[in-house]
Amino acid sequence: MFSSNQTAQPNFSFIVELYVDFVLVSTHQVFNESLNYAKFDASGDLRCLLTSEMVTTGALLTYYDPALAFVNIKIYEKYGTPPTIQPGFVQGTVNRAWNASLRHPDFINYDHLDYMVSKLNPNSGNILFLTDFPRSRKYFVGLYESAFLTFIARGSATSYNIIFNLYDITNTLVATDTINISLALNIGVIDCAPQNLISNTSFTLANF
């Protein structure tokens, strides 16, 4: 949301430039909706530019760089007879956007600190994966079936430890392993297929 103190000028509107990865991708004319205020929704443009196709390469961790982009906007005022774009602009903070979808109840309660892996995050150590599968229930997969877990990271450290704990049906710990990964400003997707864990961790077929 943004505002102007020039909305009483004849033929007033805002001109919004959308930049993705610091490249201008679209320009929009936006009119004030309530007094001096207006808003701009970039999701339609971003939906066409960001992708997150599932890739089963056999890697334990995949960086989903195509699903992440740096986004910001520049806002100009346009008015007059005839209307012209005025010199000067306001630039929004550069943010990161990714290809995702949340139901409305989840969206209004979303807190990025619940999901952001970062040493600067006070919730670190209790970070949630990006899934709405009930955490109180078990998710069963076959030996060669894939189960993907996605997380986001701020990149405040050059590497992270991912701890894998394997439990049996009675919730008894069977095996554990810690994998150190390099990570920057990325979305990480872990392929937890049993066969994939056997190939990339110390887990063995006997553990399953």
Q: What is the pLDDT of residues 143-180, one digit of tens each?
A: 888 888 888 877 656 677 888 999 888 889 999 999 88
- On whether the CB atoms of residues 118 and 154 are closer than 8 A, the answer is yes
Q: Give the C-alpha separation, 122 to 81, whole Å.
A: 53
Domain boundary among 43, 78, 97: 97
Residue 197 has pLDDT above 60, yes or no: yes
183: confidence class by pLDDT, cuts 50, 70, 90: low
Instruction: Identify the domain containing residue 13 by its residue range.
Output: 2-52+69-97
User: Token digits for 45?
Assistant: 């443009």
Residue 93: its pLDDT value, please? 86
Residues 118 and 88 placed together within one structural domain of the fold: no
Residues 113 and 92 placed together within one structural domain of the fold: no
Residue 130: its pLDDT value, please? 80
Mean pLDDT is highest, among 93-102, 146-155, 194-203, for 194-203
Task: List, for residues 104-135, the tens digit of each pLDDT value.
Answer: 887 788 887 888 777 777 776 677 888 777 87
62 in any annotated domain: no
C-alpha gyration radius of the chain: 23
